[in-house]
Amino acid sequence: MDFPSGPWTGFYNYGRTTRKHRMDLVLTFADHTVSGEGSDDIGQFLITGRFDETNGECYWTKVYIAGHDVYYRGFREGKGIWGLWELPSESGGFHIWPLGEGEGEQDYESAEEPAPVEAVAVETPPESTTPATAALGPRSIKTRLISSHLHQRRSPRKICLPRRKSGTNPS
């Protein structure tokens, strides 16, 4: 699985909102670590984390300069990385891709949003030893990652800017 170093772009969103909050990053992937920097509508940030070329999994912490931390977890699939970001009381989805690949600047506003899906109970149905989720078969990365995190509706500025002004850091 290829994780190219260099400029990346993409977006994150909050809960069920369709608004995409752009982010631009410069990432370095080497020796199973990812590092970099970037900016979005909240401010400038640094990235530190890890990735696995075998299964495409990656996770990192986005640390806003003089601000708070946000945990990201995703999977390399197709032309980018899809996943979820998390704060202690908020979460949402994201999609990033190498600049010049993926959705491209001209398609940015019309990029496909992951469709909301109903959560599936992890119970074993009567007369079965297979959990209900296994019976569904493989689902796309977008569906697996986004399915249980579409309930948040607060805007990023309402969440992040008060933390930046007060100097609190939830991590």
Q: Going residue by residue through the chain (171 aa), what tens digit of pLDDT does each one get? A: 789 999 999 999 987 788 999 999 999 999 999 999 999 999 999 999 999 999 999 999 999 998 999 999 999 988 899 999 999 989 999 999 999 876 544 444 434 444 444 444 444 445 544 444 333 334 444 444 444 343 334 444 444 545 445 555 444
Tokens of 10: 């993409």
Contacts of 56 (CB under 8 A, 6+ apart): 1, 75, 76, 77
Contact 113, 60 (CB under 8 A): no
The domain covering 6-104+153-166 belongs, at the CATH homologous superfamily level, to Quinohemoprotein amine dehydrogenase alpha subunit, domain 2 (2.40.128.120)
The torsion angles phi and psi of 20, rounded to 5 degrees, stand at: -100, 125
pLDDT at 73: 98
Given its phi and psi angles, is residue 25 left (phi above 0), alpha (psi -120 to 50 degrees) or beta? beta
- Cα 41 to Cα 47: distance, rounded to the nearest angstrom: 16
The torsion angles phi and psi of 30, rounded to 5 degrees, stand at: -160, 140
Q: Write the CA distances from 1 to 29, 76, 81, 129, 140, integer angstroms.
A: 12, 8, 11, 34, 17
pLDDT at 148: 38
pLDDT at 156: 47
The residues that bridge with 109 in the sheet, in sequence order, are: none
Given its phi and psi angles, is residue 137 left (phi above 0), alpha (psi -120 to 50 degrees) or beta? left
Contact 71, 59 (CB under 8 A): yes
Question: Half-sphere exposure (CA, 13 Å, Cβ side) for 97?
Answer: 15
Regarding pTM above 0.75, the answer is no
* Residue type at position 129: T
- Length of the chain in terms of residues written: 171
pLDDT at 98: 96
Cβ-based neighbour number of residue 115 at 10 Å: 11
pLDDT at 126: 52
